[in-house]
């Protein structure tokens, strides 16, 4: 490796550094080569004595800096295809399950809404048609109880559970598909 090759390799590795500091250091290394020549060392010899540019760059940057990879990591196409196929099959099962869970949730919401409103409905029926009976009243009271219970469950448990479950599943799918880095 000659002087030019050595310095340009080092410059490339030191890219994360502030420019001014980097140029100052490179000046030091360039001078080192010149002084080496004055003392009868060849450029290759000086390069060898300095140590691999990568090792020197690591020394300079310290643990705080990540060395830039010489080439961007390649995408693993085979893995991507495999995971995509697996996820398609998984989703054929999981998505309908998730949808039906949401359907159950929506129907519980409906139960809660109309349960709570059943006394009002009875009142409207009485006002419009005048055919309310004691039996209907008891049914309406019962429905209100069920509605309130459902509303309580929705408010404090069900909404949180189903939203969490959906988000978790979405995130898991996305992460699996992209692949952990």
Of residues 69-108, those binding other proteins (CB under 8 A): none
Round to whole Å and give the CA distance between 9 and 16: 13
Residues 7/52, Cβ–Cβ less than 8 Å: no
Shortest distance in whole angstroms from residue 71 CB to other proteins: 24
Binding piece for other proteins, criterion CB under 8 A, among 34-42, 66-74, 155-163, 168-176: 34-42
Round to whole Å and give the CA distance between 86 and 80: 10
Binding piece for other proteins, criterion CB under 8 A, among 32-40, 120-128, 152-160, 167-175: 32-40
Q: Could you say which of 34, 86, 103, 165 contacts other proteins (CB under 8 A)? A: 34
Q: Is 131 in the site for other proteins (CB under 8 A)?
A: no
Q: Is 1 in the site for other proteins (CB under 8 A)?
A: no
Binding piece for other proteins, criterion CB under 8 A, among 30-38, 90-98, 99-107, 145-153: 30-38
User: Alpha-carbon torsion 107, 113, 119, 121, what sign?
Assistant: negative
Round to whole Å and give the CA distance between 42 and 45: 5
Give Cα 86 to chain centroid, integer Å.
Answer: 20
Which of 99, 25, 84 lies closest to 60 in space, CA to CA? 25
Residues 119/164, Cβ–Cβ less than 8 Å: no
Q: Could you say which of 49, 94, 139, 163 contacts other proteins (CB under 8 A)? A: 49
Binding piece for other proteins, criterion CB under 8 A, among 29-37, 87-95, 112-120, 130-138: 29-37
**Which spans of this chain sit near other proteins (rule: CB under 8 A)?**
25, 27-32, 34-36, 38-39, 49-51, 53, 55-56, 59-60
């Amino acid at each position: 490796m000659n002087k030019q090759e050595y310095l340009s390799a080092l410059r490339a590795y030191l890219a994360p550094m502030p420019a001014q500091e980097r140029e100052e250091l490179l000046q030091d290394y360039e001078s080192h080569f010149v002084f080496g020549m004055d003392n009868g060392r060849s450029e290759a010899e000086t390069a060898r004595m300095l140590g691999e540019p990568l090792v020197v760059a690591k020394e300079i940057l310290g643990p705080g800096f990540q060395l830039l990879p010489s080439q961007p990591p390649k995408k693993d196409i085979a893995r991507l295809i495999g995971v995509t196929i697996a996820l398609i099959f998984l989703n054929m099962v999981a998505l309908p399950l998730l949808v039906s869970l949401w359907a159950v949730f929506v129907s519980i919401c409906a139960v809660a809404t109309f349960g709570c409103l059943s006394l009002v409905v009875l009142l409207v029926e009485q006002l419009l048609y005048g055919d309310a009976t004691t039996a209907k009243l008891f049914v309406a009271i019962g429905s209100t109880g069920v509605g309130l219970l459902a509303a309580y469950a929705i408010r404090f448990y069900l909404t949180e559970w189903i939203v969490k479950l959906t988000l978790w599943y979405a995130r898991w799918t996305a992460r699996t598909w992209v692949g952990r880095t």
